[in-house]
Amino acid sequence: MKMRAEEPAKKLMQGNEACAEGAIAAGCRFYAGYPITPSSEIAEVLSYRLPAVGGTFIQMEDEIASLGAVIGASLAGAKAMTATSGPGFSLMQEHIGFACMAEVPCVVVNVMRGGPSTGLPTLPAQGDVQQARWGTHGDHPIIVLTPWSVRECFDLTVRAFNLSEKYRTPVILLMDEVVGHMRENVELPNPEEVEVLDRVKPTVPPEWYIPYEDTPFGVPPMGIFGEGYRYHVTGLLHDVRGFPTLREDEIEPFMRRLFRKIWAHLNDIQQWETYLMEDAETAIVAYGSVARSAMRAVVEAREVGLRMGLLRLITLWPFCRKAVESILDGCKTLIVPEMNLGQISREVKRVAQGRAQVRTVSRVLGRLIKPEEILEAVEGWKA
């Protein structure tokens, strides 16, 4: 018994629950959402937890309303989030664009299930990867993170909030049904140990405040409604003061800054991990729950002497070009297993530019890809 007490406090929990706990730890105090499996546990946990910490939970009439309320709350100073799955994610696209355009920090969780349309409630898929990148209309940068474990659901939810605050942008946490519903024994950090970032607010006198002025960092300080910095927020393309503009010399600089604030900080935003890549000749490039099968495949391949490794993408967008480039010298073959018909493998091919053979292992049958299905694509593998 004594030995037990000294062990860290571990708890059996779901990815969705860990995501909700991560939100609380990150300082989220407003949640608006509309129920949809396999994401509903996030809403359920937060409906219980948020009022206890002085926050607000509200179930809106649909997902468009949910993200609208989240953006409103964020403009009023609250860290805010919503969670959904495929059909709801489609409905949120217009407001994801609004948050990009008006530069409003917020976190959107999409626990992927099979699509299109109502699709496969609720079997896993990774079919929303390109939608997460390009779902809303118009040119825009976006940050998308994908966890592979329950603990990482917690960590990446915190990170999603931190990045959204730092860069004044919506951040999408792209989970999948396996990760969302899977239970693992996890140890969550104490609240004091969690690094939390808050948006930079203006410090100049209000009459000097120029709400969308360019800065060396590319992210203007954010005035909060009710805190003395009165300004105009709009989804129309706007000048540095926030007012609608149709002037060429204002449109282009705005669009360029919107991209630059993300692209100039890829080192901070992009995360990936490698396993056994030092001497690897074949690499699996995977993300989300599929990376778990990929990891297993690497271990099995190593057991029979095949020099295989894993590149696991944590930041999905902006695409980790550097990560893929860094393995092109050593690897002749890249295997990209996905629960879709090749949405990230086309990015890998684009970066590989023919320097390595890229093999897509696609499965769209409503279940996780098995390690042996990945291994079948490996030369020299005999089952």
Among 12, 204, 236, 365, binds other proteins (CB under 8 A): 236
Among 57, 119, 124, smallest CA distance to 90 is for: 119
Binding mask 20-59 toward other proteins (x if CB under 8 A, else -) reads ---------xx-x---------------xxxxx-x-x-x-
| The pairing of beta strand 11-14 with beta strand 183-186 | antiparallel
Query: Nearest approach, Cβ of 307 to other proteins (angstroms)?
Result: 52
Collapsing DSSP to helix, strand or coil, 318 comes out as coil
Residue 325 touches other proteins, criterion: CB under 8 A: no
Task: Name which of 3 and 52 has its Cβ closer to other proteins.
Answer: 52
From 61-69, 111-119, 130-138, 191-199, span contacting other proteins (CB under 8 A): 61-69
Collapsing DSSP to helix, strand or coil, 302 comes out as helix
Which two tokens mark 262?
Answer: 């993300």
Residue 213 touches other proteins, criterion: CB under 8 A: no
Q: What is the DSSP string of 23-91?
A: HHHHTEEEEEE---TTTHHHHHHHHHHGGGGT-EEEE-SSHHHHHHHHHHHHHTT-EEEEEE-HHHHHH
Collapsing DSSP to helix, strand or coil, 11 comes out as strand
Residue 230 touches other proteins, criterion: CB under 8 A: yes
The span from the CA of 61 to the CA of 239, in Å, is 33
- How far CA 130 is from CA of 167, 239, 321, in Å, comes to 21, 30, 16
From 8-16, 153-161, 221-229, 292-300, span contacting other proteins (CB under 8 A): 221-229
Residue 204 touches other proteins, criterion: CB under 8 A: no
Binding mask 75-104 toward other proteins (x if CB under 8 A, else -) reads xxxx-x-------------xx--x------
Query: Nearest approach, Cβ of 4 to other proteins (angstroms)?
Result: 26
Which amino acid type is present at position 90? Answer: S
Residue 185 touches other proteins, criterion: CB under 8 A: no
Site residues for other proteins per CB under 8 A: 29-30, 32, 48-52, 54, 56, 58, 60-62, 64-66, 68-78, 80, 94-95, 98, 225-228, 230-236, 241, 243-244
